[in-house]
Structure 1
């Protein structure tokens, strides 16, 4: 038996399609699960699947999930030319260098095989377009010339040039490449290297280092140092109860700020910019009203729109106005409100952290603008959070850069140029939302990631302290809430007092204006006295009693009401006649002065009603002149259609993927069926129904299975393996063994049919 640790069963010269056919169903299901783009639409046979595996876009997507070491193994295969001829594992190990041990190499190769980024056994091949995934110079190496180079006698200046190019990239810009001069006339290191043939001249301004020289200079590490294991981040173990308590405080603060934002925009909705989004002035106003910085205000604004609590009215002069969902949200408990916001943040296809920055054209990013939309933001956000959640509960990352370094090793091609910033932004926003606290994931955050908003709300509710039913009234007319209050008490207190400071204990300030606000809402002085008497654990100061009584004594002496229209007449008899008419009741007319009547109805309705009753009223304007109230032509306000959010790709269940695999194998068997037993119908059966009917009827008599291609009622092409029972009357009826059900197909929808060899 061989002692070579890389020796396995040999399978050289195998095509990708043949290698895929040799894989078992479980391996193919795992492949389709890991690379879902291969299954859309379902491949007809293994050749189609192999073609998709080797496409440029699919390989690029698959490489995004590779860690640094596995990516280096794939790059080494490209360097050794595995895209043109198979490369042995021993050769691969030699190229990777002595730091790479057999076990991690086999694990990396197994990963590449599971993703079909490579195929074979001890000799591996990769799809030809894989080379394009590593740029012009894979491994930082230039072209191979097949020559042997002698570096003896090369001066120190020339060696510095060679070492710099050997480290990669292998090309350099220089004016000395304009022409090659003899060695005895060369004046610069580059000219001497060109003269000796140690550099290749690409064009008059560029030189290239041959691959063989780079290998010699790199020594026993042809691809340079390779990090085979992920970096170990510096973490701290915290008590999960401390993490949850801190996160709970942030969650309540988030809910309070969003509630204030919704209330503020209910009274004064900000306008929508002509280009969409929210203006800088309105962002600053929101930050000032909420007493937060502009970055947090931008996050809150993005959240309320992402949670559909605020929306664009899309009117002629559009505004950002709270929706009816905001009323439902305001009536919910604190933990439910938090879960709604946290889930909206988790699925938000935008980057709020970009607000306030400028793009490459020096254009400012505004809140709610289309420019900060990023379709991959939810995926990247969940990627960061799930990495944190994979550590034991209470594990804290004190420095986000450690987390960024870990993620950079695990998926160096994911996240783009802003990858490290994305990690930091996610940590900052997650902390502000209450999903993270003290650098660790909260219990509610873990449940949100795994189970969704409902269970997360329940988990947060269990972590929060029980709401209090009392407050502490101080002699300086402040009220201290030492914790979270019961909803009804919090509502009453918010009505009669203003928040002065918030935190673990909230301080309210009672003033004449806040008392008047409570009286305006219908509360009486007795109601307020009873509130403080029953709810305060401290004696009610006399100054508060005087303040309430004094405000109540002056409240309501001058009263106002709403009126949609009025009637005036110098003849009090006519006014009384109108008021006595039965029509006055329907028009809701009432007298507020001897010569004045008012109604809540529009003036046009009142005048029409009085005219139908036999009176002859006229309309007047503010200046007393008669108005013409005849209606003009119908008008409609053009509305801007909001852009629909792109639907997230659906995750295909393993059962469905298993059916795809069975269809692929059935397609292979159908393709191998002897000629004459396969019928393809272009469009519909009108061009050749007899052959298709004959094939289906033959299969029904012989109880053989048929791979049927058809177009469903939605116009989508599909395939099913059917055992026909009835063929006739324009209908194909048969049993689908994969789904265990009887199906009926209109024959005019059948596009192809082929007998399938039995397994």
Structure 2
């Protein structure tokens, strides 16, 4: 393709204008529009072709704010893609200074030329809008049209189309009409030539008529400044501590999810994802709503803590990484989950909605995949990060309006919803709190999960070493418990409510659970005596002792398994129970029963029948037979890490190579020479060119293929050419390099100081 040529007062083409820009401007262009640099352009003509391509222009417009985008559309209204336009012509369409917006467009090469002759790439009209500023195509003959003789009904039609878009669907355009047979307002306007018939059912309002109808507002309603954003100042410490509390709650819920799915993994749906029934069961077990449960499911999978087992009957099973996560400190647990949320390439907010075929969208369903979700989520969070610490944005609609003004072409039809979902999810994850960004969330965005974990650790209160036992058999943890104490209390009591203070309840089943894990009555009495800041109620002591009298009177071992008891009456009671027949229990002594089934199955069967047996080891001590849970190997993360943006040095090197390509194309005698398949076979033009450059001390632009098969380009000053090798100084780096001649694909002479 040839570079676009637009003849203006200076007769400058886009390629010529780019060639005249300094290196810093070209580096800034490549940074603002990274697609232009891949693959590296051979010269400025190639770069100009890419700059003006429809796809590249569309991508470049995604980061433009409303005013800048409107200025670009105004240039198209003035036909800057066909003729140069002075900036003064554009200014007359606005009531604000448009030069800063023109400078932004010029820096992105969406506009080129000086203020007296601005041009846009021809592809801009298709890439930006077929009807810029809501105006139709031009009919120059209507420039001086008089609308004074129109009736009220005709004016209403023109007014509706002038708001935009200028296209209307109507059956009145089915036939060509004249002033003699026009009956409806649209037919009258068609007869007058004030509407243009595009096809049998479509009419279009010409640009000149639309501008006339709009009067002193030629571009319509244009918001030239960013909408106001209401903010509140909150205590930063309160924001951080509130977010820290949410982080602990998130960690607790994920731990419960991993424990539950270790024992009973949910099935993977045939279409992918988790079923509605499984989601409801999880929400009930965690005592949360289904929306939060769905978010937790998405997080654990993206964090690598749960994966698809991919078997004949696939299930969602915790991975071995879950054990590492469970053993980590609370702040590191949170950082893993928060990072997984920020980088989540999916939209959990869609869960529960229906797709185009009226199918329900489940957690982990493939239809939730959105590669651009991390970018859009980070954009919302960075809007908070731009505000002072502790600043809250209470009105989500105002924030959505601000972000829409800053980038109206981003986000698609879900743009405003994405803002709401980000606030809801960010609050649930603990990155946001009280409508503000927490310090740990701010650190996560700027420095990563490691420093964010440390910042959260600073926000968390120190762990407490005591509990408060109440007379109603509840145990209050007045803060985050020390790890050992938290484990002991979780074993002997169940969480009843969580928050700043966690309330546990002790009951017979929880006490028996502690006994099953090997604790004794003395251990539990000592736990509450040593760790409770309040007197231990007598009712709790009675509960522990009563459960201890029942627990372990039956002792099981492996026979398959056996049961023993010092009380022959209890052994007989078990032997005649209906459960004994199913478990195939057989009395081998007045105090001993045996079964061919595994001990765990026998004990579960007896517990279901109302007995309270305990497992016994070879030394007579109580064994903990609780299952450790299933684990599978971790799978690859769902997301692919975004490549690091090129440095200014790398972009500067690319610009130098583009300059060298220009010089190679214009230097006398520097026409590009392709290398023959076998340089060693005899004389060749390329070999002669390289040898000539070595003799004259001139530089050569060399295209070659490196050892990895990757095409590359360098400006080399040859020193030695022979023996199948080109040896010379790499002009960009000042280093001597060697190139096998068989890897060189083309070469061209350039000026000695190129690059």
Same fold (TM over 0.5): yes
- 1:4 is matched with none
In the alignment, does 2:217 pair up with 1:221?
yes
5 Å matches for 1:172-571? 172-561=168-557
Q: 2:49 aligns with which of 48, 51, 59?
A: 51
Q: SS of the residue aligned with 1:664?
A: helix
Q: Which moved more, 1:143-152 or 1:388-397?
A: 143-152
Equivalent position SS for 1:349: coil
Rounded to whole Å, the distance in 1 between the matches of 2:229 and 2:30 is 33
How far has the Cα of 1:745 moved from its partner? Answer: 2.1
Match of 1:116 in 2: 109
The answer to whether the 8 A contact 2:302-2:638 is kept is no
Cα deviation for residue 510 of structure 1 reads: 1.1
Tell me if structure 1 keeps the 8 A contact 2:240–2:433.
yes
Paired with 1:663 and 1:374, the residues of 2 have a C-alpha distance of: 36
Moved more, 326-335 or 724-733: 724-733
Q: 1:505 & 1:641 partners in 2: Cα distance? A: 37
Q: 1:156 to 1:679 in 2, by over 3 A?
A: same
Matched residue of 2:658: which SS? helix
Which stretch of the first structure deviates more once superposed, 192-201 or 354-363?
192-201
Q: Measure, in 1, the Cα distance between the counterparts of 2:682 and 2:358.
A: 64
> Does the 8 Å contact 2:319/2:634 carry over to 1?
no
- Which of 703, 712, 718 matches 1:718? 712
Alignment-derived partner of residue 694 in structure 1: 688
CA deviation after TM superposition for structure 1 residue 709, in Å:
0.7
Question: Shift of residue 190 of structure 1?
Answer: 2.2
* Structure 2 counterpart of 1:623: none
Distance in 1 separating the partners of 2:127 and 2:334:
43
Q: Is the 8 A contact 1:710 1:717 kept in 2?
A: yes
CA offset at residue 698 of structure 1?
A: 2.7
Distance verdict in 2 for CA 1:232–1:313, change over 3 Å: same
Closer, same or farther: CA 382–507 of 1 in aligned 2, 3 Å: same
- Judged with a 3 Å threshold, the aligned counterparts in structure 2 of structure 1 residues 426 and 682 are, in CA distance, closer, same or farther, namely farther
Which of 27, 30, 35 matches 2:28?
Answer: 30
Q: What secondary structure is seen at the aligned counterpart in 1 of 2:168?
A: strand
Unaligned runs of 5+ in 2: 1-7, 563-587, 599-632
**Distance change >3 Å, CA 728–CA 175, structure 1 → 2:** same
**Whole-angstrom distance in 2 between the partners of 1:645 and 1:437:** 27
CA contact (8 A) 2:670 2:749 kept: no
1:160 aligns to 2:153 (yes or no): no
Shift of residue 188 of structure 1? Answer: 2.3
In structure 2, the partner of 1:127 is 121
Structure-2 change in CA distance of 1:135 and 1:687 (3 Å): farther
Contact 1:684/1:750, CA 8 A, preserved across alignment: no
Distance 1:715 1:51 in 2: 26
Confirm or deny: 8 A CA contact 2:664 2:750 kept in the other structure.
Answer: yes
- In structure 2, what is the equivalent of residue 610 of structure 1? none
Cα distance, 1:563 vs. partner? 6.7
| Deviation for aligned residue 1:72 | 0.3
Q: Using a 3 Å threshold, how does the CA distance of structure 1 residues 701 and 677 change in structure 2: closer, same or farther?
A: farther
How far residue 214 of structure 1 moved from its aligned partner, in angstroms, is 1.6
CA contact (8 A) 2:58 2:128 kept: no
Paired residues, what number?
A: 682
In structure 2, the partner of 1:85 is: 83
CA contact (8 A) 2:12 2:113 kept: yes
Under a length normalisation based on structure 1, what TM-score does the superposition of the two structures give? 0.86
Q: Normalising by structure 2, what TM-score?
A: 0.86
Contact 1:684 1:749 in 2 (8 A): no
CA deviation map 1:90-126 (0-9, x unaligned): 11112x23x223xxx1110010011111100111111
Check conservation: 2:28, 2:107, Cα contact below 8 A: yes
Q: 1:84 to 1:458 in 2, by over 3 A?
A: same
Distance across 1 between alignment mates of 2:597 and 2:275 = 41
Are 2:303 and 2:637, in contact at CA under 8 Å, matched by a contact in 1? no
Query: Are residues 87 and 510 of structure 1, via their aligned partners in 2, closer, same or farther at CA, if it must alter by over 3 Å?
Result: same
Contact 2:44 2:659 in 1 (8 A): yes
Cα 1:56/1:688, change in 2 over 3 Å: farther
5 Å-filtered alignment, 1:570-719, equals: 645-675=639-669, 678-681=672-675, 685=679, 690-719=684-713
